[in-house]
Structure 1
Amino acid sequence: MVPQLSEADMDTIADALVETGYIVLPDTLPPSVCEQLLQSSKSATWDDFRPAAIGRGSEQQRIESIRSDQIRWLSEQHPTDKFYLELMTQLRQGMNKRLFLGLFDFESHYAIYEPGAFYQKHSDVLQGTRNRILTSVLFLNHDWRSEHAGELVIYDENDNKLETIAPEFGKWVVFLSERFPHEVLRTEVNRYSIAGWFRVSNANHGF
């Protein structure tokens, strides 16, 4: 059965995006789906993953001094991925209904940060474009402790630190892509997550 986001969840997320521009949700997504996503990430071979790059298209570059995670894009052909993508479709439709964002699609990848990996402060809006509107990050790490590090740090538009978020299992972060630079601090253990972006077809959106 396809999991569902409740109308109350949608209202909570929409209200937070209007008031602060971001929200941290500790246990909104179904734990069974999160567990399947974690096992899918752990059971994949390294041939399925590739070093993450920065930029897009012909401008893509692999620069380990900026980011050093490994990624695999989600696919609707994979049953576990499809469950998560269906939840994100519900979120897209819910935010369009409430906030008139004009979101039309979603792209997402697994990310594995091995010990020592990090991602320096950056914006999710690619240079020369404004089509990424909403960012989603789901963490998949059981029994995370402070000494494991690897936190997500969110900044405001003036580079003031807003929040440091431990990547604990099932925690879900949603924020407006243009407004919040962020970074992943160096991790001391394997760190599993899924990052994704809701996009519009052009720069004209209703928020």
Structure 2
Amino acid sequence: MSVVFTEELAIEPTVDLKLFETITDNLANQGYSIHPNALPEPLLTQLHQHVHSMPDDYFKRAGIGREEQLMLNQFVRKDEVCWINGDSAAGQAWLDWTNQLQRYLNRHLFLGLFSFESHFAHYSPGDFYKTHKDAFKGESNRVVTIVVYLNPDWLKEDQGELVIYQDDSQQELVRVTPSFGTIVVFLSEDFPHEVLPATRDRYSIAGWFRVNSSGNNRVDPPR
């Protein structure tokens, strides 16, 4: 069932071509890109207000896998998610901004990105997501992952960092504090990562740019 929220009209997303250029260069040269306080402020504020206006029961316990392979496993992850489909003004503004990024990445990196899916994520104090990859080589159509954090006034002692590892050896590459407006982008197949427990409620958006794997009576994307 689609739900329409009552709020102001969507804010036209601001496109920062310098940011897009840096993300593109970083992906090409090192496979990941991190930008503190980088999401356009009007969009960031709208998303923050929206995520805190949603009823608690709109968030559902997150699972592992998709479609018929979806299962719950609280030993691996304990967050709750709410998928973004554009029914809200804030959600549509976010999708408009990511569409601009998708077009830029396709134009400059020739990735063939076909679609985008994303959700709000809520981690209660103590929640976590153990080390995983967002895609496995040759087995998934997720190509580029993007994460944006919606946590004002986040302190180091609040914890809840995103840890990105160099490879399957678990050598830590970078640790990201989930501060307000920080953007993280990385190649979905290449980097294992985990979310550490926090001492306060932690909100973010996770999204994936995907290629089209339709065929053999299967239509992609499935959502």
1:9 counterpart residue number: 19
Whether the 8 Å CA contact 2:114–2:210 is kept in 1: the answer is yes
For the residue of structure 2 that corresponds to 1:4, the secondary structure is coil
1:197 counterpart residue number: 208
Note the 1:87-102 alignment, pairs <5 A: 87-102=97-112
Instruction: Provide the rounded CA distance (Å) in 2 between the counterparts of 1:6 and 1:193.
Output: 21
What is the CA distance between 1:4 and its match in structure 2?
2.6
Specify the code of the residue in structure 1 equivalent to 2:155: R
Instruction: Provide the rounded CA distance (Å) in 2 between the counterparts of 1:73 and 1:21.
Output: 26
What is the CA distance between 1:70 and its match in structure 2?
0.7
| TM-score after normalising by structure 1 | 0.94
**Pair 1:183-2:159 in alignment:** no
2:217 counterpart residue number: none
For the residue of structure 2 that corresponds to 1:38, the secondary structure is helix
Instruction: Provide the rounded CA distance (Å) in 1 between the counterparts of 2:124 and 2:52.
Output: 12
CA RMSD across the alignment: 1.5
Summarize deviations over 1:78-128 as a string: whole Å, max 9, x none: 111010110100000000000000001100000000011000000001697
Summarize deviations over 1:55-77 as a string: whole Å, max 9, x none: 11111111111100110000212
**Pair 1:46-2:59 in alignment:** no
For the residue of structure 1 that corresponds to 2:199, the secondary structure is coil
2:74 counterpart residue number: 64
What is the CA distance between 1:27 and its match in structure 2?
2.5
Given candidates 34, 41, 49, the residue that maps to 1:31 is: 41
What is the CA distance between 1:130 and its match in structure 2?
2.4
Large movers: runs of 4+ above 4 Å: none
**Which runs of no fewer than 5 residues in structure 1 stay unpaired?**
none
